[in-house]
């Protein structure tokens, strides 16, 4: 089934929720798991909904929910207050939209971030767009883990919409004088550096395969690369004194860093603490150990490409679930900044790095001690594919608080992608399809026009992670499929090879921004037409002559492909579901 574009203009906004205050008990609500205690009760001076999961019960996803009447493209938004108590082993209390097709099969979902605070009421929000083919939806209040979840003051708005018609006449792309980013951080792809280790060798990766990977990376010419460094790779005991800098995984990292050093790509070292306990109990010892690691990598091994550090991947998840607070998060960053300065290492500290958690991000920006300790801010998002039209709101929610600070610091997307109901932590079949390339162009161009200073897509290629975990998020397949490039590889390669770190980003205004998006980075105009219609483009303020256009049928090989863009007067013809670039003459 083709993924038709979700492109709509607003007609009206309605609320279709019954008894969101729970003053009438659970009237209007359904219960998914009768074995769990789901009820309305008087608590904290008001009537609330509660879900209780006892330690003797199985951890699952008990919920109370309402069925919603929705249509394709409707924009849904729900708000509530929630809290959890005696919570352990799970995600806790949260809110979610689920979408179902005509066969009652779940198509996709969107959920609120994890609650960071315990034993207090916290506002929660979830937004979503009803995907193509939707027949029904549900708004759920859930508890994942042991403990008690409480919900109150649930509100819901459905912004109904209608499809936009095919445009009459040309679509004008106007290059403005508005500079959205004075010095762009660059485009990159997550490369966690384990390709050359024993686990991948055990899956038939040989030195004869290395030129395929390395040649593609050289051609893509990324300006920055995010790379996990698992603490077990270099300090497996976690005593922060006993280092294993010559472990198999570290040797694989060195071979990876050799490549990025050679091509001049800056590397962000991101810590991961998988399977380890007490990692940050002694912050001074931990910080000293990280300093030793960086001194070894930069001064002993000569990897001057290493320029950035991130404490831990998605700290609103693992870091908090290990029992650490935001105050401890701040302290470690303050200590790390001083440690790098003491050693004379010019390393930028990346802030927040949250997994689509605006609450965590806001705490990082608002805490002046934390803000002063970092050099740039990062967030991650894996948009439900229909929700990509909400990307602008995601960006503005983060850019606006940064604009109110002095000095203003850059915001980058440290990870991003898309998901549907087949997606998981390590597998994402939707990334193998052609529309993923179009979606990627859409959200990147939206971000460029709003001031996002860099993007790193998850992830570079299929590979085995430590523990024999296969990572399916990728720009190209594993050896068992002959390293086949996916459509998104071609879209991402254009962004990374045709731009440079430090480029100026200028805003491009589209006369039909829901149909065609564009932006200029340096001397390159990037554009995408995600619709099923061919369109005529008229250019204003950009004098490009040389470029290429890509459709699903014109993708081949692993270098340049597509078709030559032909300028006709002051514009060009753009096929349906296509992307491309035009170089400034």
Tell the burial category of 260 from Cβ atoms under 10 Å away from its Cβ (0-12, 13-18, 19+).
Answer: buried
Other beta carbons within 10 Å of 224 = 23
pLDDT exceeds cutoff 90 at 161: no
Specify the range with the lowest mean pLDDT, choosing from 10-14, 60-64, 234-238, 334-338: 10-14
Q: Render pLDDT for 93-147 as a digit per residue (tens, 0 to 9).
A: 999 999 999 999 999 999 999 998 888 999 999 999 999 999 999 999 999 999 9
Fold of 171-175+506-584: Immunoglobulin-like (2.60.40)
Specify the range with the lowest mean pLDDT, choosing from 69-73, 256-260, 445-449, 469-473: 69-73
Q: What is the pLDDT of residue 496?
A: 99
Other beta carbons within 10 Å of 182 = 12
Q: Distance between CA 20 and CA 552 in Å, rounded? A: 46
Q: Distance between CA 185 and CA 485 in Å, rounded? A: 25
Q: What is the pLDDT of residue 12?
A: 57
Q: Render pLDDT for 389-444 as a digit per residue (tens, 0 to 9).
A: 999 999 999 999 999 999 999 999 999 999 988 999 999 999 999 999 999 999 99
Q: What is the pLDDT of residue 312?
A: 99
Q: Distance between CA 497 and CA 482 in Å, rounded? A: 23
Q: Residue 287: left (phi > 0), alpha (psi -120 to 50), or beta?
A: alpha
Length of the chain: 585
Q: Which residue has the tokens 């078709």?
A: 563
Q: Distance between CA 453 and CA 521 in Å, rounded? A: 11
Start-to-end CA span in the chain (Å): 40
Say which residue, 143 or 2, is predicted with more confidence: 143
Specify the range with the lowest mean pLDDT, choosing from 67-71, 263-267, 483-487, 505-509: 67-71
- Phi/psi for 5 (5° steps) reads -70, 140
pLDDT exceeds cutoff 70 at 194: yes
CB 144 within 8 A of CB 60: yes
Q: Distance between CA 211 and CA 21 in Å, rounded? A: 61
Tell me how far CA of residue 520 lies from CA of 178, 525, 543, 548, 577, in angstroms.
Answer: 11, 4, 12, 15, 20
Q: Which residues pair with 50 in a beta bridge?
A: 39, 150
Q: Which residue has the tokens 């399916």?
A: 472
pLDDT exceeds cutoff 60 at 277: yes
pLDDT-based confidence at 3, cuts 50/70/90?
Answer: very low
Q: Where in the chain is the domain with CATH 2.60.120.260?
A: 8-163
Residue from 486, 388, 390, 398 nearest 441 by CA: 388
Which superfamily does CATH assign the domain made up of 183-503 to?
A: Glycosidases (3.20.20.80)
Q: Render pLDDT for 338-374 as a digit per residue (tens, 0 to 9).
A: 999 999 999 999 999 999 999 999 999 999 999 999 9
Q: Where in the chain is the domain with CATH 3.20.20.80?
A: 183-503
pLDDT exceeds cutoff 60 at 218: yes
In the predicted model, what is the mean pLDDT of the chain?
95
Q: What is the pLDDT of residue 164?
A: 73
Which CATH architecture group holds 8-163?
Sandwich (2.60)
pLDDT-based confidence at 9, cuts 50/70/90?
Answer: low
pLDDT-based confidence at 11, cuts 50/70/90?
Answer: low
Tell me how far CA of residue 442 lies from CA of 62, 393, 514, in angstroms.
Answer: 36, 14, 9
Q: Where in the chain is the domain with CATH 2.60.40.1180?
A: 171-175+506-584
Q: What is the pLDDT of residue 2?
A: 37
Q: Distance between CA 585 and CA 546 in Å, rounded? A: 7
Q: What is the pLDDT of residue 545?
A: 87
Strands 306-310 and 348-355 come out as parallel
Q: What is the pLDDT of residue 4?
A: 41
Q: What is the pLDDT of residue 36?
A: 67
| Residue 148 CB contacts under 8 Å (≥ 6 apart), including other chains | 50, 51, 52, 53, 84, 85, 86, 87
pLDDT exceeds cutoff 80 at 7: no
The b-or-e profile of 365-386 (16+ CB within 10 A means b, else e) is bebeebbebbebbbbbbbbbbb
What does the pLDDT average to over 4-23? 69
pLDDT-based confidence at 300, cuts 50/70/90?
Answer: very high
- The Cα angle at residue 168 between residues 166 and 173, in degrees rounded to 5: 90
């Amino acid at each position: 089934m083709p993924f038709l574009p979700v492109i709509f203009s607003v007609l009206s906004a309605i609320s279709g929720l019954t008894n969101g205050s729970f003053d009438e008990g659970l009237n209007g609500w359904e219960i998914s798991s009768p074995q769990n205690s789901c009820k309305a009760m008087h608590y904290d001076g008001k009537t609330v909904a509660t879900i209780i999961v006892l330690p003797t019960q199985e951890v699952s996803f008990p919920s109370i929910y309402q069925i919603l009447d929705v249509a394709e493209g409707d924009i849904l938004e729900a708000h509530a207050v929630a809290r959890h108590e005696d919570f352990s082993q799970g995600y806790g209390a949260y809110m979610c939209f689920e979408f179902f097709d005509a066969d009652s099969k779940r198509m996709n979902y969107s959920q609120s971030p994890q609650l960071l605070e315990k034993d207090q009421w916290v506002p929660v929000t979830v937004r979503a767009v009803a995907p193509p083919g939707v027949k029904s939806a549900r708004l759920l209040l859930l508890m994942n883990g042991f403990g008690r979840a409480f919900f109150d003051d649930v509100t819901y708005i459905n912004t109904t919409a209608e499809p936009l018609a095919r445009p009459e006449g040309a679509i004008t792309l106007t290059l403005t004088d508005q500079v959205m980013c004075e010095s762009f951080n660059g485009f990159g792809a997550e490369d966690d550096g384990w390709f050359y280790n024993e686990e991948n060798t055990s899956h038939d990766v040989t030195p004869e395969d290395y030129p395929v990977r390395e040649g593609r990376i050289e051609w893509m010419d990324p300006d920055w690369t995010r790379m996990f460094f698992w603490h077990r790779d270099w300090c497996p005991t976690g005593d922060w004194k006993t280092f294993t800098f010559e472990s198999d995984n570290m040797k694989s990292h060195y071979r990876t860093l050799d490549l990025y050093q050679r091509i001049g790509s800056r590397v962000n070292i991101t810590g991961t603490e998988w399977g380890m306990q007490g990692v940050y109990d002694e912050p001074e010892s931990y910080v000293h150990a990280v300093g030793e690691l960086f001194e070894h990598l930069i001064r002993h091994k000569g990897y001057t490409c290493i320029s950035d550090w991130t404490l831990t991947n998605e700290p609103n998840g693992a870091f908090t679930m290990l029992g650490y607070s935001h105050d401890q998060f701040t302290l470690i960053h303050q200590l790390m900044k001083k440690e790098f300065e003491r050693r004379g290492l010019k390393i930028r500290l990346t802030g927040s790095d949250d997994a689509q958690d605006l609450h965590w991000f806001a705490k990082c920006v608002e805490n002046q001690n934390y803000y002063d300790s970092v050099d740039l801010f990062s967030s991650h998002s894996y948009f439900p594919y229909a929700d990509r039209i909400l990307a602008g709101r995601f960006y503005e929610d983060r850019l606006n608080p940064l604009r109110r600070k002095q000095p203003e610091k850059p915001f980058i997307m440290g990870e991003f992608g898309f998901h549907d109901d087949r997606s998981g932590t390590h597998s994402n079949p939707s990334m193998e399809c052609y529309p993923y390339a179009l979606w990627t162009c859409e959200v990147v161009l939206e971000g460029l026009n709003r001031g996002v200073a860099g993007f790193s897509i998850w992830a570079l290629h299929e590979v085995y992670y430590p523990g024999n975990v296969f990572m399916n998020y990728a720009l190209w397949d594993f050896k068992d499929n002959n390293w086949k490039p996916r459509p998104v590889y071609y879209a991402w390669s254009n962004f990374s090879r045709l731009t440079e770190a430090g480029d100026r980003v200028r805003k491009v205004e589209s006369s039909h921004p829901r149909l065609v998006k564009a932006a200029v980075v340096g001397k390159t105009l990037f554009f995408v037409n995600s619709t099923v219609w061919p369109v005529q483009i008229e250019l204003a303020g950009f004098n490009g002559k040389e470029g290429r256009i890509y459709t699903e049928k014109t993708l081949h090989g692993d270098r340049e492909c597509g078709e030559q863009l032909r300028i006709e007067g002051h514009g060009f013809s753009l096929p349906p579901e296509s992307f491309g670039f035009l170089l400034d003459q």
